[in-house]
Amino acid sequence: MTKTITLSLLGTLLLSALHADTIELESLTVESTRLQNNELNAPEAVEIYRRKDIEKSHAQTLPEFLQKNTSVNVIPAYGNPFSPLLDMRGYGVEHGNANIVVRVNGRKINNIDNVPQLLGSISTASIERIEITKGSGIVQNGDGANAGVINIITKRSNHKEVSLSIGSQSTSQTALYLGHTDEFVSASLVADLYKTEGTRKIDNNGKTDEKRLSNVALNLALTPNDDLELRFGIQNNNVDAIYGSYLSHDEYKSDPSQPGSFNFGASKQNYKTTVFSTGLGYSINDNVDFQADYAHEKKNSENTYSSGFVDPSRYTYENISAVLTYNENHFKLLTGFETYLGNRDGYGGNIDKDTYAGYILAQYRQGKHTLKTGYRFERAFYTQDSTIADNTKAYSLHGRELAYNYEINEESSAFVSYAHSYQSASIDQLLVYIFPTGGVFKNFLEPMKADTYTLGYNNIHANNKFKASVFYAELKNEFYYYTGPAGTFDPASNNTNIDESSKYGLELFDAYNINRQWDITALYNYTRAKIDKEVENGEDLGGNSLPGVPKHTAKATLNYYPNEYTTLALVQNYRSEAYALNDIRNNFSQKQEHCRTTDISLAYAKDNYEVFAKINNIFDQSNGLWISNDAIYPINFQLTFLSGLKLKF
């Protein structure tokens, strides 16, 4: 009844405001590719979210914003919301992270093992824009850019702001941004502290899955003259997260907040990272520009399990990139190289995965026509220094792109794109446990290859922005974890490749400014992911669907502005059911149930301050991540609220 009344009231208010003045929309520039395209003439499917979109969402973390506002499926990783599972274009939440390259100001943050990207380390207070490219980007971004790329660009401004918020479960957050920009210096300091007692009990004594996150980042850019820029940055992140284990179906239905009685108990992760970065940009002349960047990252991860066993891992990453850009009239040419050196000292001993790449990308625009083509060569090296043997392996990888955009008129365009992309295996997928020495490289897997075709249409005018695309991808050697007939610990269970598979789907996006009082943004994805040919352990899996891929995903935000200072927002998220992550045979009795949430927020912003309040999951809908029968991790399963204050100087 409450839901019906709420929707009826919103519908009445919507109809009453249809005749007010409208606010104009515009085609936004894609800044991360260096090709100076915008949403209308870009020869690929893109989504762009600006600072004001992030502020209006009042998302406390970057994963929360992506989950509720973009086409990316985002799910806390077995209870960890700071390193979430990602899925885009049907690659599934189990391996979706490895098929999306995530960059922050050009720095790649993907891991060499199965650990998802630490998106929680990027404070929302620091983000200027988020650009999502789908089915494209292999030439500039390399290994893993099969589903696409998420580029995060941080702010350079004179803004100074502090925000404070408190909420249910003793949740609190303090975020600070101090920025200064002039002709010679650009500097910023970001500090973010988040903590919560959590929503689940982890034992019968009432202890909960509390979590803490702190981020501090300092960035400095010096421009001694008009042609030269020198960049420096340092960042520190700390995560302390406790997460409960899975529940049976009956436990989940009766009370998803309980610790459960048949699982392995709660786990704790302490995660510390430090990043140092430096770079330079030099304008050689009016047509040629050179950029070079270096980043060094140290990570320490310590997992403590209910048994008391502690699993420490130490990571070192070095990312070196350089690109030379030539720009004259209608023609742009980019050529560059990139190295991504990763080391983990932990399970399996001391392991390196290093990649070295060179690429060339050209784009020609004449009148209504834009043509883009490029090639990337990448070499991936694996080395394990174990007690049994020194294991090494190397693979050569080739990426290609060809895309074309035609501007039908000043408001609409159509494009077609093709990408041949690839993904090399993570180090965890290569390890086989051998008692008593631990994990040893014995399972070298051929790299995955994907051919992706996208056809799209854009229509952008004063009060409406509409985008549509259809895609089809043919894959060879897609990675998956085969679960044997007896379950995860069956001797036949292993990481392996699907011989042949395919994905196809429809993507729709629409932002409609009805008038000065109302606007609505909605997106919808229809996705299918099929196993075309695969036999493992004598079982024919051909014709099955890839687990963890929902057919339907829909998200919508309705904003109401009763006056120039106040915003009332209603956010609806829906993700349809899917096969549980381990259900490669598609025969489990339990499926991943559909997920849905409804949030509402109210904000009042005037002069240099803003007050806001937000209720998440107002209808108290239970959601979970299904691994197998009676193995469910509850996520976003109860109503929560927060309120806060933001001051700008």
pLDDT in tens, 331-342: 999 999 999 999
> 367, 341, 364: which is closest to 353 by C-alpha?
341
Taking residues 125-139, report their average pLDDT.
Answer: 95
Q: What pLDDT is attached to residue 473?
A: 98
Q: pTM to 2 decimals?
A: 0.93
The tokens for 404 are 């074309």
Domains recognised in the chain with CATH numbers: 2-648 (2.40.170.20)
Q: Does the CA dihedral 483-94-75-586 come out positive or negative?
A: negative
The tokens for 61 are 């973390």
Helix, strand, or coil here: 307?
coil
CB 225 within 8 A of CB 255: no
| Radius of gyration of the CA atoms of the chain, in A | 24
pLDDT band at 441 (very low <50, low <70, confident <90, very high): confident
Answer yes or no: is pLDDT of 19 > 60: no
Answer yes or no: is pLDDT of 504 > 60: yes
Q: What is the 3-state composition of the chain as percent helix, strand, coil, each rounded to the nearest 5? A: 10, 60, 30
pLDDT in tens, 161-212: 999 999 999 999 999 999 999 999 999 999 999 999 999 998 888 889 999 9
Q: What pLDDT is attached to residue 389?
A: 54
Answer yes or no: is pLDDT of 380 > 90: yes
pLDDT in tens, 40-64: 999 999 999 999 999 988 888 999 9
> 571, 567, 484, 579: which is closest to 528 by C-alpha?
579
3-state SS, one letter per residue, for 329-348: CCEEEEEEEEEEEEEEEECC
d(CA 551, CA 185): 49
Helix, strand, or coil here: 139?
helix
Give the pairing of strands 148-154 and 100-104: parallel
Provide DSSP, 591-617.
-B--EEEEEEEEEEEETTEEEEEEEES
| pLDDT above 90 coverage of the chain, percent | 78
Helix, strand, or coil here: 393?
strand
d(CA 95, CA 97): 6
Mean pLDDT of the chain: 91
In the chain the first and final C-alpha atoms are separated, in Å, by: 44
**302 or 552, higher pLDDT:** 552
d(CA 446, CA 543): 22
Taking residues 127-137, report their average pLDDT.
Answer: 95
pLDDT band at 10 (very low <50, low <70, confident <90, very high): very low
Strand order in the sheet with 45-50: 45-50, 127-134, 148-154, 100-104, 107-108
d(CA 86, CA 75): 7
Q: What pLDDT is attached to residue 482?
A: 93
Q: What pLDDT is attached to residue 3?
A: 45
Q: What pLDDT is attached to residue 581?
A: 93
Answer yes or no: is pLDDT of 148 > 60: yes
The tokens for 42 are 């870009």
Provide DSSP, 461-475.
ETTEEEEEEEEEEEE
Q: What pLDDT is attached to residue 367?
A: 93
Cross-strand partners of 399 = 376
Give the pairing of strands 438-441 and 431-434: antiparallel
The CA-atom distances, in angstroms, between 197 and each of 80, 436, 521, 567, 645 are 13, 39, 33, 29, 21
d(CA 6, CA 206): 35
Provide DSSP, 475-516.
EEEEEEEEPBTTBTTSTT-EEEEEEEEEEEEEEEEEEEE-SS
